[in-house]
Amino acid sequence: MREEEPACIPPADVRAAVYGDLLCDFPRVRAATEDESIHSYIGPDLWGYSAYESEVVFTAVSFHFFLLMFLVSFRLAAFRSPGRIPMQTANDLNLWRDGLFQINTETEETIKRIVSTLGMKLTDDLRDLVRSMIVVERKKRFGFHRFCSFCTLYKPDRTHHCRICGKCTLRMDHHCPWLANCVGYGNYKYFLLTVFYALCLSASMVIQMAPTFVHIMQGLHDNLALLPVVLIYACVFMLTPLLLFFMGFHIYLTANAMTTIEYREKKNSEDPYVQRRFQVAHLKFDQGYMENLKDSLGPVWSWLIPYFDGKNGCYTFSKSMSTCASTQKIEGEGMLLGGKQGV
């Protein structure tokens, strides 16, 4: 004679057989798993699975996909070079070591006057001039070329010296302690994807666990062993809006062709001359929202893929030219830096 199943385990219910104790303590959890699936739209007979089994498969696949993409993006952001001042060719040495930018005196004086004169209107001719130059940014109000005394090199536009790394970083955004690396031109996309997939992970956990969390809270006083689950869920719940805000902030910066340094120290600086220098230099890189996103993330189809080779745009892109300037590969850094452009 067949032995009767325990009363707390519904007949022919595999889930109850595995989680019988939990379902006995929390009968409403059982009801939720059977009737209140948050993925009931998947369908009860998808690929021969029940609604609950389809939900489990969907959750497992989506979570591990987000986790894989997060780990890949994090590794690339942490170990890929953010971009250094190139010193591979004779032209590189002439530009960044010797400062031989071959800018005629008249043009140089015009740039100095534009940078140092706060009320000077930027006409279309002046805008085209700025966009065509290999180096636009100038130091302080007198318009001298920016020079790094630590690296003893002239700085390309948007380059800053990192005191922690001890090197200059192309289009430096910030030094990230979580990555132990600078975030710059070469790894900014990987950093952004790391934040994005971290947001996907936390948001999926909050959504998937919400029904279970509600039922656990209703019976928590009877089973304190589940208190760690409550604490973990609370932490993830608070982390999600922070990641959402951080992601939104960097999308705003990317769409407006700005870095964190430029946003904090230049655009919003109290020094009007600093704001003026940023206004002039920003003309060279601001190509419109969509083009700015493509310059940092690549073609639209590749935005969510952790891959970036810099070929979607060049570091010294000029809107006044039909094509980018001649480019040269920075060995081992997976990016391109624009060569000299005509003035």
Instruction: Just list the catalytic residues.
Output: 176
Q: What secondary structure, in 3-state letters, does 218-252 show?
A: HCHHHCHHHHHHHHHHHHHHHHHHHHHHHHHHHHH
Of the candidates 258, 276, 261, which has an alpha carbon nearest to the alpha carbon of residue 116? 276
Q: Which residues pair with 168 in a beta bridge?
A: 161
Spatial distance between the Cα atoms of 155 and 135, rounded to a whole number of angstroms:
9
Spatial distance between the Cα atoms of 237 and 67, rounded to a whole number of angstroms:
17
Backbone torsion region of residue 139, taken as left when φ is above 0, otherwise alpha when ψ lies between -120 and 50, otherwise beta = beta
Parallel, antiparallel, or unpaired: how do β-strands 336-338 and 327-329 relate?
antiparallel
Q: Which residues pair with 217 in a beta bridge?
A: none
Backbone torsion region of residue 158, taken as left when φ is above 0, otherwise alpha when ψ lies between -120 and 50, otherwise beta = left
Distance of CA 84 to the CA centre of its chain: 19
Task: Look up residue 23 and give its amino acid.
Answer: L
Spatial distance between the Cα atoms of 24 and 190, rounded to a whole number of angstroms:
46
Spatial distance between the Cα atoms of 207 and 123, rounded to a whole number of angstroms:
52
Spatial distance between the Cα atoms of 61 and 59, rounded to a whole number of angstroms:
6
Spatial distance between the Cα atoms of 111 and 113, rounded to a whole number of angstroms:
5
Are 43 and 51 in contact by the 8 Å Cβ rule? The answer is yes
Would you state the structure tokens that stand for residue 74, as one six-digit string? 């994090």
Quote the longest CA-to-CA distance of the chain: 104
